[in-house]
Amino acid sequence: MMEYLPVEVIGNILSRLGAARDVVIASSTCRKWREAWRNHLQTLTFNSNDWPVYHELTRSRLEIIITQTIFQTNGLQCLSIIMDDVDEFSAAPVIAWLMYTRETLRQLHYNVRTTPNINILEKCGRQRLEVLALAHNTITGVEPSYQKFPCLRSLSLSYVSISALDLSLFLTACTKVEALNLVSLDIVMSDPQATMELSSNSLKDIYVEAISLDKIILEADSLEKLHLKDCTLEVFELVSKGKLRLLKIDDVSVIHLDIGESTENLEIVDVSNFTIMWSKFHHMIAKSSKLRRLRLWGVVFDDDDEVVDIETISACFPQLTHLSLSYELRETTLQYGLQDSFRLENVVILELGWTVISDLFSHWVAGLLERCPNLRKLVIYGVVSETKTHDECHTLASFTSFIVRLMRKYVHVDVQFEYE
């Protein structure tokens, strides 16, 4: 049956293989498959993790293999060159690969250093590129009037050295970009105050990881998703028109966080390993009446007397279906956090966690269960140390017995335990 397949279909099959070595082996089957490789192959991937032999080849031998393989294709749309164990490639063959594929290329994933450094933006600009992922490269002297990316929708920069000004100009050159990933950038600052200002009318999704700066100002009227992870910032300001649907903050140190007043479209708020002033944070998201998922995990309060006011959560977020809470419990949590007869009518999934197990946790679980009449699933997360004292073992055993008795009252609820 295979001999009756059209060459276009064979090209599609080869493209789904992805890995260059597999494509070369498959295309050697017969003349028809070789024709499909030449004229209908769309995707080609060179990844040092795909084939152990890549680690044994010299740099020049790798360059020859990649060159020969690419130059036997006529319409590549997606090219990935990810060589983690190669120190650097020569600039000449890399320029040749980019120039040969630039007319048809839609996606470029490039993670190799070159010597001397080449201006990849210059080679790829003003073309049809829709996805660009660069790693371990240096970007300098961005000229948005010349290096335009009219079709680019996704931009990812990892371990890239770039100035704050050039990053801003680069984003300006990407008039249709919707997704932006910035990971472990080496930000070159031209002035003493480390401020980065980014502006985009099209941006919908931004992910920022492992970046340390004094100030980030992001102006993005269409932004729907904001995810900050492992960052150290003094100020983060979002200027937007209120389309934000997802806010995720994970292990971030920031003195002043401002996501603007227009938060009425927020659906998911996920905050973990973060120090918050609950009253201020709650005020920031209080108008999010469409909120469906709220996760406060491993949060630390600025004020020792602060607690998460679950009654206020119930009142402000009537559509909440998924609630996840884990923070250090104190007597005030029970006295003020669960003192009123509020109900979380729509919550169907409840996730609760401890860092230090105590009797307070048992009462807290019971109190929240009472207030979730339509709950379907309860997940208990806990930390269990390697060596436990007799008292700690007794507390854990008491908690387990308590949960067994408690769940007889809630037989319709699926209960799960996740310990680490």
Least confident stretch, 14-28, 71-85, 95-109, 110-124: 14-28
Given pLDDT bands bounded at 50, 70 and 90, which one contains residue 340? Answer: low
Given pLDDT bands bounded at 50, 70 and 90, which one contains residue 276? Answer: confident
SS3 131: strand
Output the average pLDDT for the chain: 88
Q: Give 239-262 pLDDT, tens digit per residue.
A: 999 899 999 999 999 999 999 877
Given pLDDT bands bounded at 50, 70 and 90, which one contains residue 111? Answer: very high
Q: What pLDDT was estimated at residue 388?
A: 73
Q: What pLDDT was estimated at residue 192?
A: 60
Pairwise CA distance, residues 186 & 194, whole Å: 12
Pairwise CA distance, residues 283 & 158, whole Å: 34
**C-alpha dihedral sign at 11, 13, 18, 22:** negative
SS3 267: coil
pLDDT over 60 (residue 2): no
Q: How many CB atoms lie within 10 A of CB 121?
A: 23
Q: What pLDDT was estimated at residue 208?
A: 98
Q: Between these two residues, 58 and 384, which has the higher pLDDT value?
A: 58
The length of the chain in residues reads: 420
pLDDT over 70 (residue 3): no
If residue 235 lies in a helix (H) or strand (E), which one and from where to where?
Answer: strand 232-239
Q: What pLDDT was estimated at residue 191?
A: 63
pLDDT over 70 (residue 226): yes
Pairwise CA distance, residues 377 & 375, whole Å: 6
Pairwise CA distance, residues 127 & 388, whole Å: 62
Arithmetic mean of pLDDT, 344-357: 91
Specify whether the CB–CB gap between 180 and 207 falls below 8 A: yes
Give the residue from 130, 139, 86, 125 showing the smallest Cα distance to 108: 130
Arithmetic mean of pLDDT, 20-30: 79
Given pLDDT bands bounded at 50, 70 and 90, which one contains residue 193? Answer: low
DSSP state of 53: G
Give the residue from 348, 307, 350 showing the smallest Cα distance to 327: 307
Give the residue from 364, 334, 333 showing the smallest Cα distance to 350: 364
Given pLDDT bands bounded at 50, 70 and 90, which one contains residue 369? Answer: very high
Given pLDDT bands bounded at 50, 70 and 90, which one contains residue 335? Answer: low
Q: How many CB atoms lie within 10 A of CB 335?
A: 10
Find the helix packing angle between 359-370 and 390-407, rounded to 10°: 20
Pairwise CA distance, residues 416 & 370, whole Å: 18
Percent pLDDT > 90 in the chain is 54
